[in-house]
């Protein structure tokens, strides 16, 4: 039991606490109002109202107006890598960087009349459900498919969480007079970032082509080398031509497969201390003979791989100068499924002077850009490899 004095103290303390809570709330409210008035884009609101009241045409949908406003803001911000991706584009890129997605296993293309033709992959969920080659796609869940519907929107609608079903409505081939609905359960579909093969006329040379730096890339490169090695390869060409990059840490991890312990990649965010990524152990392939193919379309994480291998004396670069993209983007998901990609930092490789914005990596053996995708460039890389 509390004494009367203690009860009074508790009461006074409670009143004071409530008073401060009220003051904080009121202060926050007026602060919000002040910020809104100061940063509420009054000029934009005025222009919107004028357009709404006086424009002859109907205004676009609110979402499209918002996209336009965001893109206008980004244009003034003037950073080429700070961009808005609308929902369909965002989903497709996210799938690509993840290296897999939930899908039904179909290939699609439009005919000259704009009909979307479906080609199920053998053994896919779509084929098992009864969808046949040549069927015309009519709808995907709530998305009605017309000749004006983009393939990006269709692909994004078909993809989704593994194990969930998607409703597909088609016109059945070949008469296209019967409409049929299918509920198809999505399965995990891999999106390989790496392909590999033996070089033509060189049964000891394995060529590993990396198309994008995804979450699965280090493991895929590892599997490629092991497979080629098991089949007799003793020399390797890492082809990073036309690779526009991807995930930074996965680029570092891919380079680290070929490098000894201690390899470093530095990065700097605004207002934060320098952060260094450093390999903690020798990579499993530090001893294999290696050359790297690059061209002007090799960028970002592809430049991390090629630059780290070059500066550490691990591989000869063959091709044309790279793109020169040394920025890091953070991806922020917006509430409608779109995303804002914001340049938040820069990376560089210690000792590599070209790791500054806009400067390319310079190959050790140069090839004119217009010839960089020709078979002769691979031949040049193989000869450089075999002469090591």
Predicted local distance difference test score (pLDDT) of residue 87: 93
303 and 169 together in one domain: no
Cβ pair 51, 59 in contact under 8 A: yes
Select from 384, 388, 348, 353 the least CA-distant residue to 367: 384
Predicted local distance difference test score (pLDDT) of residue 8: 52
Q: Report the SS3 class of residue 124.
A: coil
CA 174 – CA 197 distance, rounded (Å): 39
Helix intervals (H) in 110-241:
125-129, 151-158, 217-230
Domain boundary among 151, 170, 190: 190
Domain boundary among 143, 158, 190: 190
226 and 127 together in one domain: no
Check residue 212 and report its DSSP letter. S
172 and 219 together in one domain: no
CA 380 – CA 367 distance, rounded (Å): 9
248 and 337 together in one domain: yes
Q: What pTM was computed for the model?
A: 0.80
230 and 303 together in one domain: yes
How many folded domains does the chain comprise? 2
Predicted local distance difference test score (pLDDT) of residue 39: 58
Predicted local distance difference test score (pLDDT) of residue 190: 87
Predicted local distance difference test score (pLDDT) of residue 147: 92
Cβ pair 292, 316 in contact under 8 A: yes
Domain boundary among 190, 217, 237: 190
End-to-end CA distance of the chain: 89
What CATH number is associated with residue 161? 2.30.42.10
147 and 166 together in one domain: yes
> What is the DSSP secondary-structure string of 269-298?
ETTS--EEEE--S--TTTTS-EEEEE-TT-
Residue 276, domain member (yes or no): yes
CA 154 – CA 302 distance, rounded (Å): 30
Question: What would the pLDDT profile of 51-76 be if each residue is shown by its tens digit?
Answer: 999 999 999 999 999 999 999 999 99
Predicted local distance difference test score (pLDDT) of residue 241: 97
Domain membership of residue 259 as a residue range:
194-386
Residue 243, domain member (yes or no): yes
Cβ pair 324, 244 in contact under 8 A: no
CA 291 – CA 384 distance, rounded (Å): 8
Predicted local distance difference test score (pLDDT) of residue 281: 96
CA 248 – CA 254 distance, rounded (Å): 10
237 and 373 together in one domain: yes
374 and 225 together in one domain: yes
Which parts of the chain sit beneath pLDDT 70?
A: 1-39, 353-358
What CATH number is associated with residue 239? 3.90.226.10
Residue 31, domain member (yes or no): no
Predicted local distance difference test score (pLDDT) of residue 16: 44
CA 315 – CA 292 distance, rounded (Å): 7
Predicted local distance difference test score (pLDDT) of residue 112: 87
175 and 225 together in one domain: no
Predicted local distance difference test score (pLDDT) of residue 12: 44
For 347, residues 6+ apart whose C-beta sits below 8 A from its C-beta are 248, 265, 266, 267, 268, 304, 326, 327, 328, 355
342 and 214 together in one domain: yes
Distance of CA 159 to the CA centre of its chain: 16
271 and 318 together in one domain: yes
Identify the helix (H) or strand (E) that includes residue 332. Answer: strand 327-333
Residue 14, domain member (yes or no): no
Select from 90, 118, 87 the least CA-distant residue to 104: 118
């Amino acid at each position: 039991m509390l004494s009367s004095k203690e009860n009074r103290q508790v009461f006074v303390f409670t009143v004071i606490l409530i008073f401060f809570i009220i003051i904080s709330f009121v202060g926050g409210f007026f602060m919000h109002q002040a910020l809104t008035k100061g940063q509420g884009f009054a000029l934009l609101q005025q222009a919107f109202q004028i357009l709404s009241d006086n424009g002859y045409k109907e205004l676009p949908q609110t979402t499209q107006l918002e996209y336009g406003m965001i893109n206008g803001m980004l244009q003034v911000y003037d950073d080429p890598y700070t961009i808005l991706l609308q929902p369909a584009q965002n989903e497709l890129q996210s799938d690509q960087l993840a290296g897999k997605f939930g899908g039904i296993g179909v290939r699609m293309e439009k005919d000259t009349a704009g009909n979307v033709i479906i080609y199920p992959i053998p053994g896919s969920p779509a084929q098992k459900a009864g969808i046949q080659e040549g069927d015309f796609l009519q709808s995907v869940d709530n998305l009605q498919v017309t000749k004006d519907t983009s393939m990006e929107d269709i692909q994004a609608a078909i993809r989704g969480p593994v194990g969930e079903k998607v409703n597909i409505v088609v016109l059945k081939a070949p008469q296209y007079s019967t409409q049929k609905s299918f509920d198809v359960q999505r399965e995990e579909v891999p999106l390989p970032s790496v392909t590999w093969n033996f070089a033509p006329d060189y049964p000891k040379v394995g060529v590993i082509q990396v198309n994008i730096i995804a979450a699965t890339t280090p493991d895929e490169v590892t599997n490629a080398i092991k497979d080629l090695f098991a089949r007799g390869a003793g020399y390797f060409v890492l082809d990073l031509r036309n690779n526009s990059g991807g995930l930074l840490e996965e680029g570092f991890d891919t380079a680290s497969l070929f490098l000894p312990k201690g390899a470093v990649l530095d990065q700097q965010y605004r207002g934060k201390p320098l952060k260094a990524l450093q390999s903690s152990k020798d990579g499993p392939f530090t001893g294999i003979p290696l050359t790297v193919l690059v061209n002007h379309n090799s960028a970002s994480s592809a430049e991390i791989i090629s630059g780290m291998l070059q500066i550490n004396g691990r591989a000869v670069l063959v091709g044309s100068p790279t793109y020169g993209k040394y920025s890091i983007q953070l991806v922020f998901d917006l509430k409608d499924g779109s995303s804002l990609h914001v340049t938040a930092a820069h990376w560089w490789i210690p000792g590599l002077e070209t790791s500054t914005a806009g400067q390319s990596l310079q190959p050790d053996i140069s090839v004119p850009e217009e010839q960089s995708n020709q078979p002769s460039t691979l031949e040049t890389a193989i000869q450089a490899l075999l002469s090591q």
